[in-house]
Amino acid sequence: MTPQNRRKSGVPGAGVGEKLQIRHAKKDELAAAADLIVRTKRLNNEFDPLFAVVADAKPRAEKYVQAAADTPGKLLMVAVEGSKVVGVLRAEIRERTFYEPLMQGFISDFYILPEYRRKAMGNEMLEKASAELKKMGAEFIVADVPAQNEIANRFYVKRGFRAISSLFGKAP
């Protein structure tokens, strides 16, 4: 996305004040990225009670993002306006043992603060993450979202994704 398009799309900070950046997370941004991961998990709970968030979600998220930042084959990207982390995307490379294409880029978490949505940032983050995952060996990209999250489902379908499997759950 060009700066002119970003200005037209209304992305906060685009062309006025602080510039929006989408990039790999820096060490001093991991706590904010962890906060956004917890927010996405809480959002998931709104779609299904089987996504009830554990009480110690924050320290778990901190370890989770640290591992993503430090581990080869994992990706942690952030959208930053000035010094504020406004979006996060976590992904990894996974091998599909029995299927071709063999290597997939698996997006496990993607969250943008509500006031920054619908301004082309999600598109730009997805494009940059997809390019990074391809460099890491991904032959195609998948995203994991709650089945009832119609907004996320439409987001991915609009960008050429399609459902390739279903995961069913039931409390015992």
Nearest to 74 by CA among 90, 96, 95: 90
**Banded pLDDT at 10 (limits 50, 70, 90):** very low
Report the alpha-carbon distance of residue 142 to residue 153 in Å, rounded.
12
pLDDT of residue 19: 87
Report the alpha-carbon distance of residue 97 to residue 150 in Å, rounded.
30
Please state the rounded mean pLDDT for residues 69-89: 97
- Which pTM value belongs to this model? 0.88
Position 56 pLDDT exceeds 50:
yes
Report the alpha-carbon distance of residue 77 to residue 89 in Å, rounded.
5
Share of the chain above pLDDT 90, in %: 87
What domains are defined for the chain?
3-158 (3.40.630.30)
The answer to whether 125 touches 87, Cβ cutoff 8 Å, is: yes
Helix (H, G, I), strand (E, B) or coil at 100: coil
Please state the rounded mean pLDDT for residues 158-162: 97
